Amino acid sequence: MKTENQTFGAEFILLGLFQYGQMNKILFVAIVIIFSVALMGNIILIHLIRLDTPLHTPMYFLLSQLSFIDMMYISTTVPKMAANFLSNSKAITFLGCEIQSFLFLTLGGTEALLLGFMSYDRYIAICHPLRYPVLMSKTICLSMITCAWASSSINALIHTLYVFQLPFCTSRIVNHFFCEVPSLLPLVCQDTSQYEYTVLLSGLIILLLPFIAIVARVLIAVYQMSSGKGQTKAISTCSCHLIVASLFYGTTLSTYTRPHSLHYPEEDKVVAVFYSIITPLLNPFIYSLRNKEVMGAMRRVLGKWIFVQK
């Protein structure tokens, strides 16, 4: 098969989520609305946590980081996706594709690790409340955030640099709505089976291990509650986190732990919607609407604003 030189002037063509020309304007409006709601939801949650003193705790510090990641995460893919609905040219430059892949892997990996750290925070709060200030000190929280960002960035850099130095075939049509490593591998003109083992290993470490830890901590927290009322409270505290984690980890594991020979583009695109768009959209609402402290903070902040206006 012929290959062409990889230069920064070369382009990839993103086929997009759907290929129905007559529906492009409707899809554009729908995507813009979803993007705007997700962006506003995460921005409001970040500002609530920043403005309301009772929310200045380790749990909400980690939650504000999650909202920031989700805000960046959805901004990495959706604007280009929306623009392509109204554009005849669905091209993305080689460098643009490389940057998008790096950012997506970094943010996705950081979120995966952060959700694991958030489950640890809830586990300590439920099972060891007296030691919570020590086990979840400001230093430990900052260490968790630093660890998540640093390890995910290094992992993303390694995968991005390796994939984009591979020889791509003459056809650079990516059957996806953004540049993602699994969707690029079918375009490579050499055997990538050995490299896919490293993708699998990364997926198991960054995705599966935190998910197992989350489920284990939830079960332990519920089991250690001696009373039925305590178990009910523990389940209520952890259920939202478990729903978010299951949706995010389940879909990402489906994408990153299969060899590309078992990938089906149309299925992959639908699965990718869940972890790249739906999860950032739902997170601020799941963590706020069922959270009495966040709703109380919203009432206090709105009350202060109304008082100032008067």
pLDDT digits (tens, 9 = 90+) for 166-182: 999 877 899 999 999 99
Which residues touch 188 (CB under 8 Å, ≥6 apart)?
A: 163, 166, 167, 168, 169
pLDDT of residue 2: 43
Half-sphere CA count of 23, side-chain side, radius 13 A: 8
Question: What tens digit of pLDDT does each residue of 88-121 get?
Answer: 788 999 999 999 999 999 999 999 999 999 989 9
Is 206 domain-assigned? no
Model confidence at 308, in pLDDT bands (50, 70, 90)? Answer: low
Q: Does residue 185 contact residue 196 with C-beta atoms inside 8 Å?
A: yes
d(CA 134, CA 124): 10
92 located within any domain: yes
Q: Are 31 and 280 in contact (CB under 8 A)?
A: no
Instruction: Give the whole-angstrom CA distance, residue 263 versus residue 254.
Output: 9
Q: Which residues pair with 11 in a beta bridge?
A: 93
Q: Domain count for the chain, please give it.
A: 1
Q: How confident is the model at residue 216 (pLDDT cuts 50, 70, 90)?
A: confident
Helical pair 138-163 and 193-203, crossing angle rounded to 10 deg = 170
Return the exposure string of 3-41: e unless at least 16 CB atoms fall within 10 Å of the residue's CB, then b. Answer: eeeeeeeebbebbbbeeeeeebeebbeebeebbeebbeb
Q: How far apart are CA 12 and CA 273, in angstroms?
A: 20
Residue 288: pLDDT band with limits 50, 70, 90: confident
**Domain membership flag for residue 219:** no
**Per-residue pLDDT reduced to its tens digit, 137-151:** 999 999 999 999 999
Average pLDDT in the chain = 87
230 assigned to some structural domain: no
| Coil, strand or helix at 188 | strand
pLDDT, tens digit, for every residue of 178-203? 999 999 999 999 989 899 999 999 99
Residue 277 has a pLDDT of 95
CATH number, domain containing residue 121: 1.20.1070.10
Is residue 199 included in any domain, yes or no? no
pLDDT for res 68:
96
Task: Please say whether the beta carbons of 179 and 92 come within 8 A.
Answer: yes
In this predicted structure, the answer to whether residue 230 has a pLDDT above a threshold of 80 is: no
Residue 74 structural domain: 11-189+266-309
Residue 291 C-alpha from the chain's centroid: 21
Render pLDDT for 15-74 as a digit per residue (tens, 0 to 9). 988 766 667 788 899 999 999 999 999 999 999 999 888 889 999 999 999 999 999 999
Once rounded to an integer, what is the mean pLDDT over residues 121-139? 90
> pLDDT value at position 211?
93
Reference 282, options 32, 38, 35, 27; nearest CA is: 38
Residue 149 resides in a domain: yes
Task: State the DSSP code for 129.
Answer: G
pLDDT on residue 1: 43
Q: Is residue 226 part of a domain?
A: no
> Confidence class of residue 303 from pLDDT cuts 50, 70 and 90?
confident
Say which amino acid occupies 204.
Answer: L
Does 203 reside within a domain?
A: no
Percent of the chain past pLDDT 90, that is, above it, reads: 58
